[in-house]
Structure 1
Amino acid sequence: MSEETFDYNDLNEEEWAKIRHQRLTPKEVAKRIAKILKPNRPDYHYLKKVFQHTRELLEITPEKARKRLPELLTDMELIAFYETVWKARNTNHLVMIKLLIYTGIRNAELTNVQIKDVDLTNCTVRIEQGKGKKDRYVLFPMSFRGELAQYFEKQKLNGAKFLFESNRLGAFSTRRIRQIIKEYSDQSGIEKRVYPHLFRHQIITYLTRKGIISPKLQLLSGHSEEKSLAIYRDLALADVAEEYESAMEKFPVK
């Protein structure tokens, strides 16, 4: 059945009446119509026309896609996860995961961090060509500086280009980082799904609850809206650093 042979009368009045008088969601209406028309083997364009007509006839407004909120870890779950990582005594993994948790950088951004991007004096990491093709700086707490400095110097002595490199002398892949986090999550017994981007949601939510306002969070996270860029350009990283440091003093992972 093609678009040219489309006929609204393919659905008889009895079928329309059933659909009209039942309290169905738009998705349920679409399923019902598709089932009725299935014997005619309709193609995509035909079904699209039928669904458009159905929305007009029944005065249905298409549902907007809903963003699914991530299921964050509780403080106890986050501590349990961290303790599992700490007990493994793998410095590479420990520093990597703490940097993810503290900064909220994306998985792909983490894999691209180079030795030259780390500023131990100012407790910042430069994220080069992140999402949106704009460089930015993220903060890490001063309490993490000593641990990161030891790892940093070790990597420099080994001639590493990237901050985190596998045994094959290349940057970790995003897939491998997801695997590492899943392995520790399974070992810790956490039932929730734990993945790199969850830590981004975790820290942004935490800092929001601590009162850091949206424009300052945008500076750290790399989120942007065109209409708000004028506000964000006027902010300096130094304006955020003090509030970030104060908020991180009570963060559950030390």
Structure 2
Amino acid sequence: MEAEIDGFMLFLATERGLSAAYQLSVRQSLEALATHLEKQSLPLSDVGTDELTAFLAARKGDGLAASSLRITTVHLKIFFRWLAARGRLPMDPAEPLLSPRPEQHLPETLHPCEVKALLDSIDPNQPLGRRDLAMLELFYASGLRLSELCSVRLEGLDLDEGFIRVTGKGNKTRIVPVGGRARDSIAAYLTNERPQLVTKRTSSEVFISVRGTRLSPDRVRQIVKERAAFAGIEQSIYPHLLRHSFATHLLEGGADLRVIQELLGHADISTTQIYTHVDGARLKAVHKKFHPRG
């Protein structure tokens, strides 16, 4: 089977032009299959759908997550389709395989009181306090992704009208409203703190470091964690948690799911629908806690 795998890798590299990282991922899946077949003393010519199903079941038994099993299934499908198309197998045994259903992980959220405690704990009169408060207010007010916040530019801000222009996934631009408190915090930072951080190397990114350069995503994650620790919040805090909280609190307040989809920049409404599960889970928890027969 080693020669077949090498041939397929060459096909992916030369004819499909796929990345080295993707090729490595495919090779790992196929080499795992080769090891499994070798243990079973099964030649490639004897592999059918049942044998591939048994291999996937063994991978699941080894602790492979559903998402990884889905990827492995895709790798098997493209490999055996390639073999069958070139006449190296009489039929494609992977064609009937069904991918495992993706696991539904409900996003974590903060309670509004926790968000308030986090934001109220930041003293704007302390060094970098205005910058950090403006960042966290914007995360929560507009539901931005980490990459979007890091790349926000001065020309994308319209604080008078209360909007911000961001570029999200797929290089798609959207206009997002900015709440009053976030606008005030950003204006205070731009007026009273950012000018002192500007150097000759500074470009037009809104949020910059003490060296005048654009803040990296890792540094923003660190700032959020440090600010949460200072606020006494024991839960693990990360930027995307504020985005989840933004969406969940809007839904709880009665916002339409389509509006939330637009604000988050989701291409598909099914991505946004995860927040309906969060809302339902919370309602069930409240019912169980407070209803006499919950």
Q: TM-score, normalised by structure 2?
A: 0.55
Q: Whole-Å Cα distance in 2 between the matches of residues 79 and 5 of structure 1? A: 54
1:208 Cα deviation from its structure 2 partner: 1.3
1:146 Cα deviation from its structure 2 partner: 3.4
Q: Kindly tell me: are residues 188 and 9 of structure 1, through their superposed partners in 2, closer, same or farther at Cα, counting changes over 3 Å?
A: same
2:237 corresponding residue in structure 1 = 194
Write out per-residue CA displacement over residues 138-193 of structure 1, whole angstroms, 9 at most, x where no aligned residue. 11123443343233344785666221111211111111000001111222222211
Alignment of 1:164-183 (within 5 A): 164-183=207-226
Q: Whole-Å Cα distance in 2 between the matches of residues 134 and 93 of structure 1? A: 26
Alignment of 1:62-211 (within 5 A): 63-86=100-123, 89=126, 90-127=129-166, 129-154=167-192, 161-211=204-254
1:64 Cα deviation from its structure 2 partner: 2.2
SS in structure 2 at match of 1:192: coil
Equivalent pairs, count:
191
Q: Kindly tell me: are residues 10 and 106 of structure 1, through their superposed partners in 2, closer, same or farther at Cα, counting changes over 3 Å?
A: same
RMSD of aligned Cα (Å): 3.7
Q: Whole-Å Cα distance in 2 between the matches of residues 4 and 214 of structure 1? A: 47
Q: Kindly tell me: are residues 6 and 167 of structure 1, through their superposed partners in 2, closer, same or farther at Cα, counting changes over 3 Å?
A: closer
2:267 corresponding residue in structure 1 = 224
Q: Are 2:194 and 2:208, in contact at CA under 8 Å, matched by a contact in 1?
A: no
Q: Kindly tell me: are residues 88 and 10 of structure 1, through their superposed partners in 2, closer, same or farther at Cα, counting changes over 3 Å?
A: farther
Q: Kindly tell me: are residues 174 and 61 of structure 1, through their superposed partners in 2, closer, same or farther at Cα, counting changes over 3 Å?
A: same
Which blocks of at least 5 consecutive residues in structure 1 are unaligned? 12-25, 33-44, 50-55, 228-254
Q: Are 2:224 and 2:238, in contact at CA under 8 Å, matched by a contact in 1?
A: yes
Identity of aligned residues (%): 29
1:206 Cα deviation from its structure 2 partner: 0.9
Which blocks of at least 5 consecutive residues in structure 2 are unaligned? 3-33, 43-56, 64-75, 81-92, 271-294
Which has the higher relative contact order, 1 or 2, with Cα contacts under 8 A spaced 6 or more apart?
1
Q: Are 2:131 and 2:193, in contact at CA under 8 Å, matched by a contact in 1?
A: no
Q: Are 2:139 and 2:242, in contact at CA under 8 Å, matched by a contact in 1?
A: yes
Q: Whole-Å Cα distance in 1 between the matches of residues 187 and 152 of structure 2? A: 15
Write out per-residue CA displacement over residues 46-94 of structure 1, whole angstroms, 9 at most, x where no aligned residue. xxx9xxxxxx9xxx97642313222211223222222222377311111
Alignment of 1:13-92 (within 5 A): 30-31=61-62, 63-86=100-123, 89=126, 90-92=129-131
Q: Are 1:181 and 1:196, in contact at CA under 8 Å, matched by a contact in 2?
A: yes
Q: Kindly tell me: are residues 181 and 7 of structure 1, through their superposed partners in 2, closer, same or farther at Cα, counting changes over 3 Å?
A: closer
